[in-house]
Amino acid sequence: MDIIVGRSIDDLEKYKYSGSIFIGKQYIKMENATSLSNNIYLDVNNPHLILIAGKRGQGKSYTLASIFESLATMEEDLLNNFSGLIFDTMGIFWTMKFPNYRDAEALERWGLKPQAIKNSRILVPEGLSDKYRDIDMPIDDRFSLNPSDLSGIEWVLSFNLDPSSQLSLYIQRIIKKMQENNNRYTIEDIINYIEKLNIDNRIKNSIITYFDSANSWGLFSDKGYTTKDLLKPGYINILDISLFTAITGGWSIKNLVIGLIAKKIFYERLLYRKKEELDEIYISRDMNNREFPLVWLAIDEAHESIPNDSITPATESLIQIIREGRQPGITLVLATQQPGKMHTDVITQSDIVISHRVTAERDLNSLNEIMKNFSAQDIDIYMNENLPKKKGAALILDDKSEKIYAMQIKPRISWHGGADPTLIRKRLWLNQ
Ligand SMILES: Nc1ncnc2c1ncn2[C@@H]1O[C@H](COP(=O)(O)OP(=O)(O)OP(=O)(O)O)[C@@H](O)[C@H]1O
C-alpha cells in the first residue's frame, strides 16, 4: 500500500493523493532479503519543517533536489500557488536546468525519464553576475539587498564581530541614527556619515574599512529586490550564494542573505495569509490563485546558518520560521551533515526527518532525541537492521503517523551537480 508521509488520517480521506509528491519507495525486509515495494509520497498540502541529515556523500543534497524536482513537476493548479526558493550555499543546484542522462538506466527502472526542470530559475548576486557569465553558467536573473534594510546587529554579525565589542556598539549606534534620519540610504551614505563623526580616528577607520569591504561583496544596491522578484510562482528559484565562500567570513554573508530574505518572506506571507482568509470568508471572491504563493524554502549545510553554539545573521529569522512559519504557510527544508551541530529547535520541531547514514556520536545523539518518539531502538541499530548500504537509502520519520519507514529516495530526473570531481575524466554513462 502507498504511503503519504506528513499527512493526517483526516487529510488522507479528504484529499487522497492530491497535494502530495512522489519521493521514493519503501524497503521491505523479508527474512534476509531487502526489496523495494510501496511508493512513498510526501504531503505538500500543508507546511512542514523537514530535516534531511546524512554524513558526507550519502545523498542529502541529492535528496533535497529530488524533492524540489517533484515539487516543480506538480499539477498546474498546485504549482501556480507555490514558489520554491533554494538558498544554494554550495553552488550545486543550478544543474537542475539539465536532464540527468547520467542516471538514465536507473531512472528507467523507476519508470522515470531524464528531464530538465524548465521552471527552475537561477538568480545570482548583482555585483557578481559577470563572474558567472565568464564561465557560461545559465543565469535567469540577478538579485541584491538594500543596505537600509539591515539593522545594526545584522551588520555586526555579517562582519563577524563580537556583538558586545566597542566597535559593534558604535556600528549599532551609527545604523540607528541612519535609520532615524533617512528613509533609504546607500553604503556610501553610511561611510559619509561616519567620516563626519567626532570619534577616535582608529575606531572610525576600522568601521569605514568594514563598510568598504561590504561594498565589494557585490551584494548591495540601492534598488534591492522585493520578495516578489525573487519568488516567481510555479518556479524553483535558486539563489546562488556560493561565491561568497571566497570572501573572508563567507558564511556570515551567506547567512545575511538567508536571514534578510527569510525575514521579509515571513512578514509578507503573514500579511497575505490574512487576505487569503478574507477571500475564503467572502464567497463572492475568487480563490484560484494566491497573490503571494505558499513558499518552500531550502538550505543546504544548514548547521552553518542555524548552529546550536553561536548566533548568525540568519538565526533569528530561521527560528521565527521554525516556530511560527506554519501559520503563514512556509515550509522549511534544512539539510545537514551535522545534525548534532544544529540549533535544538530544529531537532525538536521537525515534523518530518529524512536521515541517511550518520556515524559521528554527536549526530547520532541528536537524531536519537527525535527517534525516542518513534522507537525504543537507537537510530544506528535501526538503520543497520533495516537499511541497505546504498546511496540514497534513508529512514523517514513521520510525526503525523508516528511511523518510521526505511526508504530509497527516487533517482533525480535532472542533473545532480553535487557529485565529487574525479581525476579520471570520462563519461562512463556513455561508455566513453
Ligand atoms: N537517491 C539516490 N539515488 C541514486 N544515487 C544517489 C542517490 N542519492 C545519492 N546518490 C549518489 O550519491 C552521491 C552523493 O550524494 P550527495 O552529493 O547528495 O551527497 P551529500 O550527502 O550531499 O554529500 P556532501 O555532504 O558531500 O554534499 C551522488 O553523486 C549520487 O551519485
pLDDT digits 0-9 by tens, 195-227: 999 999 999 999 999 999 999 899 999 887 888
Work out the pLDDT band at 89, boundaries 50, 70, 90.
very high
Task: Name the DSSP letter for residue 151.
Answer: -
Residue 221 in contact with ligand 1 by CB distance below 6 A: no
Work out the pLDDT band at 170, boundaries 50, 70, 90.
very high
Q: What is the distance in A from the centroid of ligand 1 to the CA of 332?
A: 21
Grid look-up 550564494 returns 241
Residue 417 in contact with ligand 1 by CB distance below 6 A: no
pLDDT at 336: 96
User: Cell triple for residue 278?
Assistant: 478574507
d(CA 170, CA 203): 9
Q: Give the β-pairing of 393-398 and 352-355.
A: antiparallel
Residue 245 has pLDDT above 90, yes or no: no
Work out the pLDDT band at 192, boundaries 50, 70, 90.
very high
Work out the pLDDT band at 105, boundaries 50, 70, 90.
very high
Distance of CA 184 to CAs 135, 150, 178, 191, 378, Å? 35, 11, 9, 14, 54
Q: What is the distance in A from the centroid of ligand 1 to the CA of 407?
A: 15
Mean pLDDT: which of 138-152, 246-260, 365-379 is highest?
138-152
Strand partners, 141: 123
Residue 202 in contact with ligand 1 by CB distance below 6 A: no
d(CA 404, CA 10): 20
- For the chain, how long is the longest CA-to-CA vector? 79
Residue 416 in contact with ligand 1 by CB distance below 6 A: yes
Q: What is the distance in A from the centroid of ligand 1 to the CA of 314?
A: 26
Q: What is the distance in A from the centroid of ligand 1 to the CA of 106?
A: 14
Residue 411 in contact with ligand 1 by CB distance below 6 A: yes
359-407 residue pLDDT tens: 899 999 999 888 888 888 889 998 998 899 999 999 999 999 999 999 9
Mean pLDDT of 23-38: 90
pLDDT at 278: 84
pLDDT at 225: 81
Pocket test for ligand 1, best of 355, 389, 391 (most atoms within 8 A of CB): 391
Pair 295, 330: CB distance under 8 Å: yes
User: Cell triple for residue 10?
Assistant: 483526516
User: b or e along 379-415 (b: 16 or more beta carbons within 10 Å of the residue's beta carbon)?
Assistant: bbebbeebbeeeebbbbbbbbbbeebbbbbbbbbbbb
Distance of CA 10 to CAs 41, 143, 313, 356, Å? 16, 41, 39, 30
pLDDT at 428: 66
Residue 276 has pLDDT above 70, yes or no: yes
pLDDT at 222: 86
In this structure, the residue with its CA closest to atom 29 of ligand 1 is 419
Phi, psi dihedral angles at 182 (to 5 degrees):
-135, 155
Per cent of the chain over pLDDT 70 is 98
Strand partners, 25: 39, 408
pLDDT at 168: 95
Grid look-up 535528496 returns 63
Residue 431 has pLDDT above 70, yes or no: no
Residues 6+ apart with CB under 8 A from 402: 373, 374
Residue 137 has pLDDT above 90, yes or no: no
Residue 132 has pLDDT above 80, yes or no: yes
Strands (E), 304-425: 330-336, 352-355, 393-398, 403-409
Distance of CA 288 to CAs 17, 151, 279, Å? 20, 37, 10
**DSSP per residue, 237-278:** EEEE-GGGGGSTTHHHHHHHHHHHHHHHHHHHHHHHHHHHHH
Closest Cα partner for 119 from 258, 265, 269, 231? 231
Q: What is the distance in A from the centroid of ligand 1 to the CA of 414?
A: 13
Mean pLDDT of 125-145: 91
Residue 432 has pLDDT above 70, yes or no: no
Distance of CA 349 to CAs 50, 264, 321, 416, Å? 9, 22, 11, 29
In the chain, where are the structural domains located? 3-114+234-430, 147-215
Q: What is the distance in A from the centroid of ligand 1 to the CA of 391?
A: 6
Work out the pLDDT band at 355, boundaries 50, 70, 90.
very high
ipTM for the complex shown = 0.96
Mean pLDDT of 262-281: 88
Fold of 3-114+234-430: Rossmann fold (3.40.50)
Q: Give the β-pairing of 352-355 and 49-53.
A: parallel
Residue 424 has pLDDT above 90, yes or no: no
Residue 285 has pLDDT above 90, yes or no: no
**Least confident interval from 144-148, 328-332, 391-395, 414-418:** 414-418
pLDDT mean across residues, the chain: 92
Grid look-up 541497505 returns 388
Task: Name the DSSP letter for residue 159.
Answer: T
Residue 7 has pLDDT above 70, yes or no: yes
